[in-house]
């Protein structure tokens, strides 16, 4: 009898030590807008002080749903830094190698055409895309969370 009790206690300790008790998650969804207009693509990330980050793709209507371990499971309960990365890239162009770099022209590449990528435009300002420069924060509570972000439109 004592041997069974010790065996059950050892098994319970082993399960606790191996992390069978995952961190507490809660579903998180919301909408990302700039000046009230939906951001139509990009990535949003919730970064806790300790533990795995949650990530979500921003859909055409600006909506997102976070995932930490499996699709749609949400984010850790507690406080998070939030990053949002959303860009567009203008059309590229074909240019002669000589106009790109004199060295390429000297290397016998003169007359060849090279594709030059278009300009990257930040839909959501770049400062929000990095954990060390964003000032966006969110608190995830138990149960479903609807957390929207409306980024101010850039002044023209």
pLDDT digits (tens, 9 = 90+) for 43-74: 999 999 999 999 999 999 999 999 999 999 99
Mean pLDDT value of segment 113-131 = 85
Taking the model in full, what pTM does it have? 0.72
Alpha-carbon distance of 111 to 52, in angstroms, equals 50
CATH code of 24-84+127-156, in short, is 2.60.40.1120
pLDDT above 70 covers a percentage of the chain that reads 70
Residue 135 above 80 pLDDT?
A: yes
Q: Which residue has the higher pLDDT, 92 or 9?
A: 92
Q: Which residue has the higher pLDDT, 83 or 17?
A: 83
Band of residue 91 on the pLDDT scale cut at 50, 70, 90? confident
Q: Which of 85, 45, 50, 84 lies closest to 68, judged by CA? A: 45
| Least confident segment among 65-69, 112-116, 131-135 | 112-116
Exposure b/e, 19-35, CB count within 10 A at least 16 = b: eeeeeebbebbbbbbbe
Q: Which two tokens stand for residue 119?
A: 């300009």
Within the chain, all domains assigned CATH 2.60.40.1120 are found at 24-84+127-156
Dihedrals φ, ψ of 112, to 5°? -75, 155
pLDDT computed for residue 107 by the predictor: 59
Band of residue 153 on the pLDDT scale cut at 50, 70, 90? confident
How far apart, in Å, are the Cα atoms of 68 and each of 13, 14, 60, 81, 105? 26, 24, 22, 15, 49
Terminal alpha carbon distance of the chain: 78
């Amino acid at each position: 009898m004592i041997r069974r009790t010790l065996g059950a206690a050892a098994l319970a300790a082993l399960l606790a030590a191996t992390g069978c008790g995952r961190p507490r998650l809660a579903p998180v969804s919301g909408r990302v807008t700039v000046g009230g207009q939906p951001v139509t693509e990009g990535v949003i990330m919730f970064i806790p002080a300790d533990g795995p980050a949650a990530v979500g793709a921003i859909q055409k209507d600006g909506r997102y749903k976070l995932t930490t371990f499996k699709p749609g499971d949400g984010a850790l309960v507690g406080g998070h830094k939030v990053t949002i990365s959303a860009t567009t890239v203008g059309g590229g162009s074909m240019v002669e190698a000589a106009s790109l770099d004199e060295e390429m022209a000297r290397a016998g590449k003169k007359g060849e055409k090279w594709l030059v990528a278009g300009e990257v435009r930040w839909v959501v300002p770049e400062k929000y895309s990095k954990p060390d420069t964003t000032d966006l924060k969110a608190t995830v509570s138990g149960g479903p969370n609807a957390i929207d972000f409306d980024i101010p439109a850039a002044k023209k």
